[in-house]
Amino acid sequence: MDEEERESSSAARFEEDYYTFLNIPRNASAEEISNAYRRLSKCYHPDKHTDPALKKDAEVLFNRTNKAYEVLSDPHKRAIYDSLGVRGLETEGWEIVLRTKTPQELRDEYERLAREEEERRLLMRTNPKGNVTVNINATDLFNRYSDEYNDVYSDVGMGNARNSLFSSVEVSGMSFTQSIEAPLTLKDTALLGGELGIKNGIGSGSINFSIRRLVSPRGWFEVQAGAGNGPTLGFRGYRSLTKRIFFNGGTVLQFNPNEIRPGLVGTLVMQLDTHTIGYLTYRVGIQSGMNTTIVRSTPHAYTAFSIEFALLRSFVSLSYTHKLEERQLELKGYVKLGTFGWFVEYGAEKKLSKHTSVSAMVHVGTPTGVSLRVKLKRAYQTYTFPIRLSDEIFPAPVFYATVAPLISWVLLKNFVVDPIVRERKQRDKDKQREANKRMKLEKQKEAKAAVDLMKATFSRIRAEEEAKRGLIITKALYGRFVYPQDRNSADEEMVGGQRDEIIDVTIPLQCLVKDSKLVLHNASKSQLPGFYDPCVGEDKQLLLQYLFHMQTHECLIKDTEPLRIPKPSHRVNTT
């Protein structure tokens, strides 16, 4: 386990383990739970301590003991705790759960309540989505000029050459789209969206408003209204017909000064197998046509094959994406052939973080020529930069469109992305380490208070065991042991800059002895009373030396290994 994994998993190690705190197995009976509770209550009850400082510590530990007993002695709460941990007990709404439900039903109920909490949270905010597209025309960079033009241009100074280089790249168009979702109730959602664009000096825009209502768990209905190139009114709906067949469709009316143009679209979706879905789409009116698409998606690849017949244009296309999960990289390819011509696209998409990704796609075809599309996704915002390099297919623009993104990514990754990622990871690790440090100090303080409260019980149990020559814990150490390779070194406690990180747990273990026996279960010992984790994320051991019938015994076990002593195999040969 590397340092990052240890830091990320350390928070879970501090979660309360009620079974280990009471030192009982996870399948403990009600009687075992009661006996463990009574044993700890005798030690931690505030009335048994007259010292004000000890009394205050006793109240804290006694409340923790009561909490553990309250959860484990109640079959309903215990089932929740066994399935979901402490977070399940803290979820609001459990009062509506019947006590006859099974642990699996309780888990389902918890997930349902969590979804309702998420829905309530969504009611308090919108869900914005935006897209910014900047069209760049750089075809002049690769145009072939006549020799006469080159001769004239060669007489111009270098300063004018640089100005001409920059002037050959221009922004030919821009568009902005933005939408928000405003949940009105758990079933009704309002959506507002707009688009504003400009191309070759001509601007256009539109705005759309719709209300969606969840009719049932199997379907929804939506009413749309818009304005832009004339008013529009539309209706859309979705319905789950069976477990494998779905339908969505709608109609739209576009109002022009001289006519009303109706449009109708419907899509039938069928799940063919676990990874394959088929789509059949039919359009009437605006852009009439029929489309059939087969999509197959697996954890390692995505493939889509499509055929469309339409009045204006028909085509066949094939798209393939290879997913490299470990590298968070996707390699993409797309081929399209139709009555309008053909084109090929290839490129890659790289995930930079949980909410950010960047992609670059090279487009080569006729009559579109050569272009490069760079896209940046950040949460709900998308920024797209289509760069038109050539109106015809030449080797130079294809080469530069392919190589330039690779070189740019290498430079960007080494000098911008990696430093930012390293800084963010280090910052998160420092925050987690600081949080762990504070929690460790709290647990250390609690363990010290528990040991102080145990001293009277420790003296009584030890005296009883000594009187009958029973089980006496002489030494108990818990933590990480570093064993020196060089016994002649000046400091045997340090090896390679590392020291033992251990705590003395002799008193807590002696207090767990009952009838000359000590039983520890298969769980981390750091949750036992009087214990704490001295080295979070590291492998720990328990070193134990004890007397039984006045014979010396010794053993060394792993942190989560169960223990039952005394054992004849632990006897030390003192001859």
Buried b (16+ CB within 10 A) or exposed e, 104-133: eebbebbeebeeeeeeeeeeeeeeebbbeb
Same domain, 113 and 134: no
Residue % of the chain over a pLDDT of 90:
47
For residues 376 and 361, state if they share a domain. yes
Same domain assignment for residues 117 and 135: no
Please give, one letter per residue, the 3-state secondary structure of 463-477: HHHHHCCCEEEEEEE
Estimate to the nearest angstrom the gap between the alpha carbon of 47 and the chain centroid: 47
Over residues 324-348, mean pLDDT: 94
CATH of the domain at 102: 1.10.287.110
* 209 vs 430, more confident: 209
- Tell me which residue of 244, 303, 310, 248 sits closest to 280, measured CA to CA: 248
What are all long-range contacts of 287-292, with beta carbons under 8 Å and residues at least 24 apart?
Answer: 287/263, 287/311, 287/312, 289/314
Work out the pLDDT band at 228, boundaries 50, 70, 90.
confident
Which DSSP category does 517 fall into? B
β-strand 260-271 against 245-255: which pairing, if any?
antiparallel
Question: Does 158 fall in a domain?
Answer: no
Which of residues 204 and 337 earns the better pLDDT score?
A: 337
Residue 434 lies in a domain: no
Of 332-346, 409-423, 454-468, which gets the smallest average pLDDT? 409-423
Examine the domain organization and report whether 132 and 255 are in the same domain. yes
Residue 200: CB atoms within 10 Å: 8
* Integer Cα distance of 31 and 73 in angstroms: 9
Of 79-83, 85-89, 306-310, the range with the lowest mean pLDDT is 85-89
Domain annotation covers residue 278: no
Report the pLDDT value the prediction gives residue 79, as an integer from 0 to 100: 82
Given this model, what pLDDT does residue 380 score? 81
Judge whether residue 355 has pLDDT over 70.
Answer: yes
> Is 221 within a domain?
yes
- Degrees (nearest 5) of the Cα angle 545, 550, 553? 25
CA-CA-CA-CA dihedral for 455, 70, 77, 12, to nearest 10: -30
Judge if 205 and 315 occupy the same domain: no
pLDDT value at residue 431: 85
User: Of 342, 407, 340, 397, which Cα lies nearest the Cα of 372?
Assistant: 397
The answer to whether residues 174 and 236 belong to one domain is yes
pLDDT higher at 424 or 513: 513
Q: What whole-number percentage of the chain has pLDDT above 70?
A: 82
Whether 159 maps to a domain, the answer reads: no
Residues 216 and 241 in one domain: yes
Q: With respect to residue 421, please indicate whether it lies within any of the assigned structural domains.
A: no
Encoded amino acid at 153, one letter: Y
pLDDT band at 109 (very low <50, low <70, confident <90, very high): low
pLDDT digits (tens, 9 = 90+) for 280-291: 999 998 778 999
The answer to whether the beta carbons of residues 291 and 308 sit under 8 Å apart is yes
Domain total for the chain? 4
State the pLDDT confidence band at 307, using cuts at 50, 70 and 90.
very high
Evaluate whether 100 touches 352 at the Cβ level (below 8 Å): no
Contact 244, 270 (CB under 8 A): yes
Tens digit of pLDDT for each residue in 57-67? Answer: 888 888 989 99
- Which of 91, 125, 159 is where one domain is finished? 125
Tell me the average pLDDT across 225-246: 91
Q: pLDDT tens digits for 431-470? A: 888 887 888 888 889 899 999 999 989 999 999 999 999 9
Say yes or no: 212 and 253 in one domain: yes
State yes or no: pLDDT of 354 exceeds 60. Answer: yes
Q: How far apart are CA 513 and CA 49, in angstroms?
A: 22
With cut-offs at 50, 70 and 90, classify the pLDDT of residue 496.
very low
How far apart are alpha carbons 401 and 361 in whole angstroms?
Answer: 9
Q: Is the pLDDT of residue 250 over 50?
A: yes
DSSP one-letter code for 141: G
Of 62, 97, 125, which closes a domain? Answer: 125
Residue 528 lies in a domain: yes
DSSP 8-state symbol, 39:
H
Helix (H) / strand (E) containing 557: strand 551-558
Residue 151 lies in a domain: no
Distance CA 556, CA 575 (A): 21
CA distance 477 to 531: 10
The amino acid sitting at 459 is: S
* Whether residues 253 and 356 fall in one domain: no
Q: Hey, which of 20-29, 51-60, 111-120, 153-162 has the most confident mean pLDDT?
A: 20-29
Residue 217 has pLDDT above 80, yes or no: yes
Domain-terminating residue out of 337, 362, 393: 393
311 confidence band (pLDDT: 50, 70, 90):
confident
Tell me what the pLDDT averaged over the chain comes to: 84
pTM: 0.60
User: Could you tell me how far CA 297 lies from the centroid of its own chain?
Assistant: 21
* 235 and 250 inside one domain: yes
The predicted structure's pLDDT at residue 483: 62
Same domain, 558 and 443: yes
The DSSP element (H or E) to which 98 belongs, if any, is none
Q: What is the DSSP letter of 219?
A: E
Distance CA 186, CA 188 (A): 6
Compute the average pLDDT of residues 149-160.
49
Same domain, 189 and 81: no
User: What domain range is 27 assigned to?
Assistant: 11-125
Tokens 């038109």 locate to 388
pLDDT band at 96 (very low <50, low <70, confident <90, very high): very low
